[in-house]
Amino acid sequence: AQKVTQAQTEISVVEKEDVTLDCVYETRDTTYYLFWYKQPPSGELVFLIRRNSFDEQNEISGRYSWNFQKSTSSFNFTITASQVVDSAVYFCALSEAKAAGNKLTFGGGTRVLVKP
Amino acid sequence: ETGVTQSPTHLIKTRGQQVTLRCSSQSGHNTVSWYQQALGQGPQFIFQYYREEENGRGNFPPRFSGLQFPNYSSELNVNALELDDSALYLCASSPAGFLNYGYTFGSGTRLTVV
């Protein structure tokens, strides 16, 4: 069975501080996909990034960066120079790589509060 | 292009009643999945529909059922509502070739069972 753990339930920072969100996953699959989603107060889940299990190259996109380490089953996410608009709940998710019937297994989420 | 739209946005039902939630998938997306998100928790997979047939199901009882229509829109039906069914219900669509895209989620329907 797949499992995603986000140990941090809430993080509070002051604007312009960096924020790193931890994600640890469990799966028996050799091929899988990892995601980060952002959920603002409005409720919709906003897709941020997808990584497949063979792509351990870390990436920076604007103020966002990701650190995927297969050896430790971790997929951490960092917001650099946080802004008030970054306040939201962030979810890490894991998916099988089947041809059909894929489902996302989500972690419990980390609430990020950025104070001005 | 329009995104995923869900209706209604909020709903209050009485225990034992039945409810139908609706979802219009994003243009070009033929796969729809439904998730239940209890307050303070991550979303839980209910089921997925592809070409009008159920194509994967999570650990939910049979009183949770669904439909997908030829235009790829979908309905989630819940019978014999229980208090624990109170949650945000999220619909997500994706195009054929899931492996290249992430799902697009709607804003959800907030269901309260009293």
How confident is the model at residue A96, as a pLDDT? 81
> Pick from B41, B101, B106: which is nearest to A108 by CB?
B41
If you write DSSP's letter for every residue of A13-78 in order, what string do you get?
Answer: EETT--EEE--EEE-S-SSEEEEEEEE-TT-PPEEEEEEETT----EEETTEEEEEEGGGTEEEEE
Split at pLDDT 50, 70, 90, the class of A101 is low
Q: How far does the CA of residue B92 sit from the closest CA of chain A (Å)?
A: 9
Please answer yes or no on whether B42 and A33 come within 8 Å at the CB atom.
no
How confident is the model at residue A60, as a pLDDT? 76
How confident is the model at residue B83, as a pLDDT? 98
Q: What percent of chain A has pLDDT over 90?
A: 66
* Residue B98 pLDDT > 60: no
Q: Which of A30-44, A72-86, B61-75, B94-108 has the lowest mean pLDDT?
A: B94-108
Q: Are B6 and B22 in contact (CB under 8 A)?
A: yes
Q: What percent of chain B has pLDDT over 70?
A: 92
Please answer yes or no on whether B50 and A45 come within 8 Å at the CB atom.
no
> Pick from B44, B48, B105: which is nearest to A45 by CB?
B105
Which residues make beta-bridge pairs with A64?
A61, A79
* Residue B101 pLDDT > 80: no
For residue B97, what is the DSSP state? -
Q: How far apart (Å, rounded) are the C-alpha atoms in residues B13 and B18?
A: 8
Please answer yes or no on whether B106 and A44 come within 8 Å at the CB atom.
yes
Query: CB of A37 within 8 Å of any CB in chain B?
Result: yes
Closest residue in A to B38 (Cα–Cα): A108
Range B15-21 average pLDDT: 98
Query: CB of A7 within 8 Å of any CB in chain B?
Result: no
Dump pLDDT digits (tens) for A39-96: 998 888 998 988 888 877 777 778 999 999 999 999 999 999 999 999 999 999 998 8
Please answer yes or no on whether A109 and B90 come within 8 Å at the CB atom.
no
Using DSSP's 3-state secondary structure scheme, residue B99 falls into helix
